[in-house]
Amino acid sequence: MNSKTFVLIHGVWHGGWCWSRVAGILSSRGHRVSAPTQTGLGERSHLLSYDITIETFVTDIVQHLQFEDLNDVVLVGHSFGGIPITGVADVAPERIGKLIYLDAIMLNSGETWFDLLPEDMANDRKALADKTSGGLSLPPTPPESFGVTRPVDVAFLEPRLTPHPFKTFTTSLTLKNPIGNGLPASYIECTDPPYRPAAIAKQRAQEFGWPISQIATGHDAMVTEPQAVADLLEQLAG
């Protein structure tokens, strides 16, 4: 297989670190792999501020592609990471060869993540953010909520999760083009157990006619089944 360039984007409370197992496998097979961390999370958690919006996340990735001079990229978004990769496809399609949504969220232009949540769930999360940080961030949930139960995986995940910039949930994604901007795209569903917040995105992917693959593991597949994820990303990259 030809060498590919993978850029792996994490979801809520995570950082680029969560891809280390998958990145190691892909790199060992000769691919170029990077996993940038979004502003305010992981090793960049010291930059947490009220000014971080979903557009900040889009800019993070665009800057990464530009400054690393990455082209023909296989851009992979996990969970909430599906939102900014949609934004990147809208503004920098010339650098992307393929989009892959891994159990990821997908927004239309003008939508926020909270628009897709049940109203009571959105209100509960806002109340928790207000209570714990004055509305600055949302504290992490236990690894079990991502389908992570093996002690070794919990020990890897739990100490690295950091509060998530709250405005990224409530600011809308602005697009000039349809989701995906006409680029080749695929969707991967994690099925054991299924992650309910991703159901709308899977439905949208079906409506777009995108290929849909499945991995029989929980939502944090890159932690629980890195070999299966790496194999499928490589396969979908073509």
DSSP 40-95: TSGGGGGG--TT--HHHHHHHHHHHHHHTT--SEEEEEEGGGHHHHHHHHHH-GGG
| Cα–Cα nearest to 134, from 49, 233, 76, 9 | 49
Let me know if 79 is a catalytic residue: yes
- Given CA atoms 28, 33, 34, 35 in this order, what sign does their dihedral have? negative
Measured in residues, the chain has a length of 238
Within 13 Å of residue 122, how many CA atoms lie on the same side as its CB? 12
- Distance of alpha carbon 213 from alpha carbon 200, whole angstroms: 16
- The conformation of residue 173, written as its DSSP 8-state character, comes to P
As beta bridge partners, residue 99 has 75, 185
Helix (H, G, I), strand (E, B) or coil at 190: strand
| Annotated catalytic residue, options 27, 34, 49, 79 | 79
From the CB of residue 28, how many other CB atoms can be counted at a distance below 10 Å?
Answer: 10
Instruction: Give the residue numbers annotated as catalytic, written as ranges.
Output: 79
